[in-house]
């Protein structure tokens, strides 16, 4: 099964919102998909969770506010804040879903390999007697 981008309704369920702005949600999802594709292309099945996470962060907090006081108003933003971004956990999850990012073994032996020796066996060399100490 291939990757299917989540819908605005699914983003609303993910964020536990009773109402969601469909156009804005669709835009955030498209941007999240595009950002995820910069890391893994094509997106694998299971990348929907990362897309929802990225789009949800951007939908709920577009200015990436990290500190807020209600009265008198005070807002603190980190340097270079805003926009849609992938966290380290998002990157790890995408790579894992794509089958990358972990330890692996490569077996270079072809499936058609025959375990029998490919060199000629000299029957006269392998007699019954070995040199002393090799018996």
Read off the pLDDT of residues 8-27 as tens digits, 9 standing for 90 and up.
999 999 988 989 998 999 99
* DSSP letter (8 states) at residue 123: T
Which secondary-structure segment (H or E) carries 60? helix 48-60
Prediction pTM value: 0.63
Query: Backbone phi, then psi, for 68, in 5-degree steps?
Result: -150, 135
Q: Where are the chain's structural domains?
A: 8-97
pLDDT category, 66, cuts 50, 70, 90? low
* DSSP letter (8 states) at residue 44: P
pLDDT of 62 reads 72
* 8 Å CB contact between 83 and 28: no
């Amino acid at each position: 099964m291939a990757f299917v981008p989540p819908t605005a309704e699914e983003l609303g369920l993910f964020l536990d919102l009773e109402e969601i702005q469909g156009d804005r949600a669709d835009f955030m999802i498209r941007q999240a998909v595009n950002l995820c594709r910069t890391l893994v292309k094509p997106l694998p099945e299971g990348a929907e969770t990362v897309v929802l996470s990225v789009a949800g962060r951007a939908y709920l907090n577009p200015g990436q506010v990290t500190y807020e006081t209600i009265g008198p108003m005070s807002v603190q933003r980190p340097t270079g804040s805003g926009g849609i971004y992938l966290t380290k956990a998002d990157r790890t999850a995408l790579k894992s879903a794509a089958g990358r990012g972990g330890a692996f073994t490569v077996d270079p032996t072809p499936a058609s390999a025959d375990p029998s020796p490919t060199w000629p066996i000299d029957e006269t060399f392998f007699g019954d007697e070995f040199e002393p100490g090799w018996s």
